[in-house]
Structures are given as C-alpha cells and as structure tokens.
Amino acid sequence: MTRLLLAALLLLAAAALVSASTLAIAAGPTVCGVAADNATAYCAATNNSSYSARAVAPFIGFSQVSSGGGGFVCGLQVGGRAFFCWPTATPDQLRRVYNGPSRLSGLAVGGGHVAAYDVGERVIRWWRGGARFPAQVGGGFSSLVSGDDFTCAVETNTSAVRCWGPGGSAVQVAFLNTSVSTLAAGGSRACGVLMNTGAVLCSGSDAGAVAPRDLSDLAGLAVGDSHACGLMKPNHTAACWNIAGPTTTLYYPAFGTAFEFLVAGGNLSCGLVTTNFSLLCWSTNVFVASEVQLPAILPGVCVSDAKSCKCGVFTRSGELCSVPGNVICNRFCDVPPPPVLPPPPSPSSPPPASRRISKTWIVFAVVGAVGSFAGLCSIVYCLVFGFCSHKKVHNSVQPNIAGAADNGGTPSPYGSPNGLQSLGLFRRQLSRVMTRQRSGPSSFKEPAEEFTFAQLAAATKDFALEAKISEGSFGTVYWGNFADGREVAIKRGESRLHARKFQEKESAFRSELAFLSRLHHKHLVGFVGYCQENDERLLVYEYMKNGALYDHIHPKACAPSSSSSPVTSSWKLRITILLDASRGIDYLHSYAVPPIIHRDIKSSNILLDGSWVAHVSDFELSLMGPETEETHMSMKAAGTVGYMDPEYYGLHHLTVKSDVYSFGVVMLEVLTGKRAIFKDAEGGSPVSVVDYAVPSIVAGELNKVLDGRAPEPSAHEAEAVELVAYTALHCVRLEGKDRPAMANIVANLETAVALCKGSASAAGGLVNSSSSAGLSITSMEL
Ligand SMILES: *[C@@H]1O[C@H](CO)[C@@H](O)[C@H](O)[C@H]1NC(C)=O
Ligand SMILES: *[C@@H]1O[C@H](CO)[C@@H](O)[C@H](O)[C@H]1NC(C)=O
Ligand SMILES: *[C@@H]1O[C@H](CO)[C@@H](O)[C@H](O)[C@H]1NC(C)=O
Ligand SMILES: *[C@@H]1O[C@H](CO)[C@@H](O)[C@H](O)[C@H]1NC(C)=O
Ligand SMILES: *[C@@H]1O[C@H](CO)[C@@H](O)[C@H](O)[C@H]1NC(C)=O
Ligand SMILES: *[C@@H]1O[C@H](CO)[C@@H](O)[C@H](O)[C@H]1NC(C)=O
Ligand SMILES: *[C@@H]1O[C@H](CO)[C@@H](O)[C@H](O)[C@H]1NC(C)=O
Ligand SMILES: *[C@@H]1O[C@H](CO)[C@@H](O)[C@H](O)[C@H]1NC(C)=O
C-alpha cells in the first residue's frame, strides 16, 4: 500500500512539463532562445540580415520561452514566479504579465492566450484567454501545449489528452481512448506519440492525421501550421512530414545531424544541435537547414527537482543552470548521458566544410522568389553539406572493368543490350547470392514460368529480325507476343560462349530463377519466366512499351519521335520517372533481406511501360548487399562507365551507396539532357555529366545546365527541379557515407513531384510563400 502510494507520488512528481522549451518560434519568423551561459533570452529574426540576435531584457534570467507562432513571445523567469511577454517586432516593449506568489512551470503560448501550470496550486491557469478558456483546471498533468485556439495537456494518472478552449474539443476527440507519452501542438492541431504503439497521431480530419507508418517511437515532436517533425530513435535525427493535406511525405532536414529537441512554428522548424547547442532551422519542405545566429542555447529547462527526471540528469547541468542545484533532465532514456561535447551519434561525421558555417551568418529564410532563392540555397547547401570542399575528383572516364560495353547508343526496352551479360556470369552471381542466404531458398511462392523453346520461337516469329529490339555483346532482345496476347521481352543469351557453365546443376539454376521471380515490385521490371533447352537459355520479362528512359532523354537524331516524347517536354513526367525508379531501387535496398545492390543503375536500365510508369531492370550484376552500411564487400568493380561510384571503382567498396551515386548521375542526366559521358564539342574531350552540372548547381546557376529542350519550368516546377538538383548533388558526393539513403531520395522526389503538381497541401508553405511578401535569404557573410 505504502509502496503504491509512493509510486503514485513519484508519478505526480514526474509532472515535469516536457513540452516546456528553451526555444520558441514566433511570427517573422523570429526565433527566441534561452542562452546557455547566463539564461538571457535572445531573439533573432530569420528574414532580415541586419537584424542580428538581440538580448531581450538582459537583466532577467529566463528558464523557458514560448510562442504560439504569433506576434509575441513569453518567457518564464528563473524560479517560475513571474513571466514576461514581448512583441517580436519590438522586444523593448516587454511587459510582466504574471508576478507570483505561486511557482509556474510549462509556459504554453497559443495564438493570443497563455497557459501555464501552477505548481503550488496544482492547476492550469490561463492569461489573456478571456472567456474562451476556463479560469483554471485542477489535476496532475505531464505536458502542456497550446495551439491557435486551444490548450491541451496529458493527464498524469491516465495519460489521456485533455483540451480546453474553442478548438479544444475537436483536438481532444482525435485522442479519444488513447494514451499519449509526448504531446506537441501548433496551429490548429496537436500531435501525440501513442504509448502502446509509438505511432504518431495528429488531430485534424485530413488523411495526414496519422504520421507515415515508418515513423514510430519518436524521441521528440514539434508541430507547425501544416507540418510536424520528430526525432527518430536511436540517432535523434529529424524527420518531417506534412499534416495539412492528403499526403504524408517524409523528408529529412539536416540529414545526419542529431538534435536535442525540435520546435516548430508557422512554416519553420528548428532543432538544437546535440554537439554544440547551436540552432539549425528549415522551412517546410525545404530540407536544407541553415544555422541561425543565436548564442548556444540551453539544451533543456532547468528544474529544481532532479527526481522528476525520468531519464537522468544532463551531466553538464551544474555549469549550465544559473540556479545552483537546478538540473536539466535528459530527454532521452535510450542513450547514456552525453559526455561534454560528445561526437554526433550519427554514422556520418560532419563534413569538414561544415565548420565554416559556424562563422557564417546565414539569414535563414522561408522560400521567397524562386530565382533569388535558387542561388543562395545552393550556397547554403554547399556549406551545409561541405560539398564545396571537395576537389573535383570524379573521373570523367573510367575504364570499364567488367567489360560491360558502354551501351549508351543501343539501349534495349528491358535493359542494356549487353543484357544478360552472359548467362554464365548471371548464374554464377546468383549462385553466390543464394549461398549467402543461410536458410536457403525455402519459401518460394510462385516459381517462374518455364517456357519451351518452341513457344518462345513462336512468340518471336522464330526470332525474326523485325522482332529484334536490340543487340548487345552478350545477348539479343526480342519482342514477343504469346498466343494469349501477352507481350514480353525475351533475352536470348549467347550460349556458345559459355557452354561450360551449363554443366552446373539444374537445381541451382532453378533456385536462381526462383530468386529472381521473388523480386516483385511495381517499379521493377517483372520477371515472367525462362527457358532452358539444350544449350538455349532465355529469360522472359514484361514488355515495356515505351522503352528506356535513355532513349527519351537522348533520342537519336533521326528518330521521328524524338521531339514529341512527353519525357522531353514535361518536367513533371521526368521527375515522376525518377521517383518511380527511386522507389524500385529503395525496394531492393530497404525491403529485400539482405539488401540487394543493383550495381548497374543507368538511364538505359530504367524502362517505361505504356503508362509511362518507370521500372528498374537488369539485375544480372545485382548482388545481395551487406547487412549494414558499415560492412562492405570488396570486389571487382563492375558497372557502366560514367555511372560508376568512384569509391567503389577506386576502393572496391561496394555498398548500397554505390547505387545512390549511379542514381545521382541519372538525375543529372534527366535535369541536363546530357549523357553520363558526353563530348561538349565536336572532337572535344569527353566530359562527365557530374563535372558538367555540379559546379553550376553549386554556384546557383542551375538554369545554365538545365535541358534546353524542356520548357521553362513553372514557378512550382522550378522549386521541384531545384530540389532534384540538390538531391542529385548529395548523391554524387565522393564518399558513400555522405550520400543519402535511397529512402531519403524517395522522400525528396515525392516532395518534388508534389511541388510539380502545385498541390498546396503537399507543397506546404512553398506554394503560399511564393506569393507572400518577400521572405527570402537576404544576406550571408563569410
Ligand atoms: C521580416 O518579417 C517581418 C514580420 O513579418 C516583416 O515585417 C519584415 O518586413 C520582414 N523583413 C524582410 C527583410 O523580409
Ligand atoms: C531589418 O532590421 C533592421 C534592424 O532592426 C531594421 O532597421 C531594418 O528596417 C529591417 N529591414 C527590413 C527590410 O525589415
Ligand atoms: C548575460 O550575458 C550578456 C552578454 O554576455 C550580458 O549582456 C547580460 O547582462 C548577461 N545577463 C545576465 C543576467 O547576467
Ligand atoms: C485522473 O485525474 C483527474 C483529475 O486530476 C480526475 O478527475 C480523474 O478521476 C482521475 N482519473 C483516475 C482514473 O484516477
Ligand atoms: C472509446 O471507448 C468507449 C468505451 O470503451 C467506446 O464506447 C468508444 O466507441 C471508443 N471510442 C473510440 C473513438 O474508439
Ligand atoms: C536514424 O534512424 C532512423 C530510424 O532508425 C533511420 O531511418 C535513419 O536513416 C537514421 N539516420 C541516420 C542519419 O543515420
Ligand atoms: C554545430 O553543429 C552543426 C551540426 O554538426 C553544424 O552545422 C554547425 O555549424 C555547428 N555550429 C557551431 C557554432 O559550431
Ligand atoms: C504556411 O504554409 C501554409 C500552407 O501553404 C499557409 O497556409 C500558411 O499561411 C503559412 N504560414 C506562414 C506563417 O507562412
């Protein structure tokens, strides 16, 4: 009984209001924070370069600040017995709103009202709430948050969400019958991390009410007007998504940076960097984060009661909290308390050039005029990702080790004409794949269809010349039409060269085919079946009516269709094709166990069906990848000139990031309309598209290298094209560890496609801000 009582008391003591923050975002956008050195509040406008961070009433020590994203910010004085509010535009008009005697905590400013928890009376109180809010509400609460016209809190005894104010009941209904561990609010919505599943639930009736399913068990949450962001465990990096519309596109701002916590307001989000307590901010759907010049910010609110910290105490609390004995609670139970300035927990250490940004005063900005945004954004990008520090090391022309012909000129409708490079190689590598699977091929569902040679001969009119689609050094591809009407592509291997290999066991061959037939994905070319008779070995694939992406970007001069290809004339289609292909590759990387590395991603291996849906083809070089990114295979390089990862080529380290590099080259190809390796002038020396495009993109002169045959991108499309260009830059980084994962590329391309559609919901703030008055990056001094 006593024990129960004690537990209950501890539970109540745990009512540290986790939503209380040392950072706030107000209109402007302006960011205010409590400095780590002496608890002074500082505010920095993020849209005006001549407005540097200003101390707000330096004679007052603040423990926390809050803003509802509106025109004012409030700060709770250290000790909790007073709070002050000031208009963002004129901080010198600071007013004391509350003056003791009770101690407050968990200040939660909404749009026009202020709520706080009265620790002495154990009630929530409101100020400036008028008749819209109750005078006070009693109880134990573990979270207090405010939105435009509501305040919500998590009841300590039930973990249920309770809300008040005009918008309160709509929000509370969304959380009916749920237990919530973390709550955040912004605009008209609140989001909570559900206790039993770790899933994120957001109020609001749109489809975006629930966060993307791959987000669960978040270590922190922030909600803006139309977006939400969370910290992923265990690396505490940020993931954001739209909550205002039908899509829930995930994007990963400041990829690889670990944050202590996030805040959001309007269309802006900021995170406090774990390693140095500096502030990175990004606006909705722009994954490029910029540093906002504020002094180092306290990593949490200093509280008097160390017992209320569920996850222990921040080790540097003594030096950080201005009141002796006060402590900062750790936000994460899943990591040991960080040592003094610990290394980032993310695998990729910050690139060397990112150091420069600390001396850089970048006015962060919401996207304004596209044109002016473009240039500066590139520079910010290059600083953030350290791209500029690299010398150009991309070899323009690399020897083709595996002897795979540069098939640029003769792509086939289901893959490269070197196609089945040789059935022997194909089989050998698949055997390797199979033996890597410890449990062996035990659970194949649909085995591939086996055809007789006669059937395939009939389908191709006896491999007639007219049926031939393409020819490579190792096999020929034919268009086939079965009696049942199915159209297929049939790859016929040059068996005579590799007769020896055919003596391998039939069972191994069958396993290999079964393995191939297991790769089912909307954006991979479907494997239909095979034929083995005597020396004949054929593979049958779904027929891709519109051929290879390569053919559409680089049409033969004589081809009549060249100018009329919808790929040439539509940025939206180009980017959609990239998105489709990235999803196919992501499937190989993320959903196949162990991951599969394609090894030969190129535009001639991205095939388009009759509806212009892209499918990745040609798996004959594909291999089961390493289980993790840290381990990597050392092997002889194979692939295609111009697309090959320099790291893989040079060091023979093969990871999924090698495919990311190749895909980056494809993205540049699609943007510029240039071949992976091309001759700029008649008789000139070959140039790689990477060397051609990257300097211009970095210099903010993307327009210089964009494919001139495509129409001028519309405003929305220009944003999308920018995003694709930055993503491509990121992909062709020299070191694999600096390149994004395929899932991040998919997320960016989803955003880009949404932008092309000009969909306000999916495009979040971008659409709005392009018409709103001049928010742009206005200055940057090195
Ligand atoms: C910054 O935002 C404030 C408040 O919205 C606005 O008054 C001001 O004009 C903006 N400054 C610039 C340079 O855009
Ligand atoms: C930027 O801030 C400075 C300093 O507060 C102010 O004088 C100037 O008018 C602001 N500029 C704009 C465009 O808002
Ligand atoms: C904190 O430091 C700033 C700058 O160093 C100074 O202006 C301010 O007076 C200090 N505030 C307090 C409360 O000590
Ligand atoms: C939880 O606390 C609230 C207010 O403090 C009270 O009204 C409610 O009955 C309590 N619920 C339970 C299950 O104890
Ligand atoms: C919540 O629970 C009650 C009783 O258990 C049930 O009647 C009600 O339908 C539930 N509501 C929702 C939205 O699940
Ligand atoms: C961080 O962790 C999440 C979830 O485990 C993962 O999806 C993401 O790729 C990781 N990010 C980095 C930079 O390691
Ligand atoms: C803090 O760390 C972040 C991420 O590593 C970096 O971008 C930023 O430049 C650093 N800021 C300072 C002031 O060192
Ligand atoms: C943010 O973007 C949304 C959606 O485009 C827009 O409705 C809203 O006004 C924007 N908010 C701010 C503060 O710019």
The domain that contains 454 carries what CATH number?
Answer: 3.30.200.20
CA of 60 to the centre of ligand 3 (A): 9
CA-wise closest residue to 178 among 151, 154, 214, 145: 154
Report the pLDDT value the prediction gives residue 252, as an integer from 0 to 100: 85
- Structurally, the chain folds into a number of domains equal to 3
Is 95 exposed, middle or buried (CB count within 10 Å of its CB: 0-12, 13-18, 19+)? exposed
The preferred substitution site among 47, 364, 770 for testing ligand 1, maximizing ligand atoms within 8 Å of CB, is: 47
Distance from CA of residue 376 to its chain's centroid? 21
- Residues 6 or more apart whose CB falls under 8 angstroms from that of 282 comprise 240, 253, 254, 268, 269, 270, 288, 289, 290, 364
Residues 264-306: tens digit of each pLDDT: 998 899 999 999 999 999 988 566 788 888 999 998 888 887 8
CB-count burial class (<10 Å; 0-12, 13-18, 19+) for 216? middle
Instruction: Ligand 5: list residues with CB < 6 Å.
Output: 176-177
Tell me if 389 is assigned to some domain. no
Q: In the prediction, which pLDDT does 621 show?
A: 65
Angle at 729 between CA 704 and CA 214, to 5 degrees: 135
Residue 768 lies in a domain: no
350 pocket-lining for ligand 7 (C-beta < 6 Å): yes
Same domain, 606 and 693: yes
Choosing from 328, 352, 382, the residue where a domain stops is 328
Question: Is position 485 within any domain?
Answer: yes
Task: For residue 45, give the ligand 1 atom closest to its CA.
Answer: 1
pLDDT of residue 335: 53
Residues 616 and 731 in one domain: yes
Residue whose CA lies nearest to ligand 2 atom number 13: 48
pLDDT of residue 768: 27
CA of 47 to the centre of ligand 2 (A): 9
Last residue of a domain, one of 328, 343, 369: 328
Could you tell me if residue 340 is inside a domain?
Answer: no
| Domain edge (last residue) among 542, 577, 612 | 542
* Residues flanking ligand 2, CB < 6 Å: 48, 50-51
- Which atom of ligand 6 sits closest to the CA of residue 744? 9
CATH number at residue 573: 1.10.510.10
Contact indicator for 41, 34 with CB cutoff of 8 Å = yes
For the entire predicted model, the pTM comes to: 0.51
Q: Assess if residue 188 is contained within a domain.
A: yes
* Same domain as 422, residue 321: no
Task: Indicate if 106 and 70 belong to the same structural domain.
Answer: yes
For the CA of 355, the closest atom of ligand 7 is 9
**CATH code assigned at 176:** 2.130.10.30
| Residue 63: other Cβ atoms inside 10 A | 27
Amino acid 19: pLDDT: 64
pLDDT of residue 126: 94
Question: 526 and 563 share a domain?
Answer: no
Same domain, 191 and 323: yes
Q: Which residues are catalytic?
A: 600
Residue whose CA lies nearest to ligand 1 atom number 7: 28
Ligand 8 probe mutation, 47, 225, 242, 757, most atoms within 8 A of CB: 225
**Residue 638's domain spans which residues?**
549-762
Shared domain for 502 and 610, answered yes or no, is no
77 close to ligand 3 (CB < 6 Angstrom): no
With tokens 């089912």, the residue in question is 520
The reply to whether 47 and 11 lie within a common domain is yes
Same domain, 530 and 575: no
Question: Of the ligands numbered here, which is closest to the C-alpha atom of 284?
Answer: 8
The dihedral sign for the CA sequence 124, 129, 134, 135: positive
Radius of gyration of the chain (CA): 29
Amino acid at 718: A
How many angstroms separate the CA atoms of 217 and 212, rounded? 12
64, 181: one domain? yes
Query: Which protein residue's CA is at the shortest distance from atom 7 of ligand 3?
Result: 58
Mean pLDDT split into 10-residue runs, the chain, 782 residues: 38 47 90 91 79 82 89 91 88 82 91 91 90 91 92 93 94 90 91 85 65 72 90 87 75 88 92 92 78 89 81 83 84 52 34 27 26 33 32 28 32 34 38 33 49 90 86 73 88 58 48 63 86 81 91 78 77 96 91 78 92 86 49 54 78 83 96 91 85 87 90 85 88 88 88 76 31 20 17
Task: Identify which ligand lies nearest to the alpha carbon of 122.
Answer: 4
Contacting residues for 175 by C-beta, under 8 A, at least 6 apart: 160, 161, 190, 192, 201, 203
Does some domain include residue 148? yes
- Residues 186, 123 share a domain: yes
Q: Is 733 within a domain?
A: yes
**Same-domain pairing of 120 and 251:** yes
Q: Would residue 376 count as lying in a domain?
A: no
Q: Which helix (H) or strand (E) holds 482?
A: none
| Substitution site in 241, 242, 364, 768 for ligand 8 pocket (most atoms within 8 Å of beta carbon) | 768
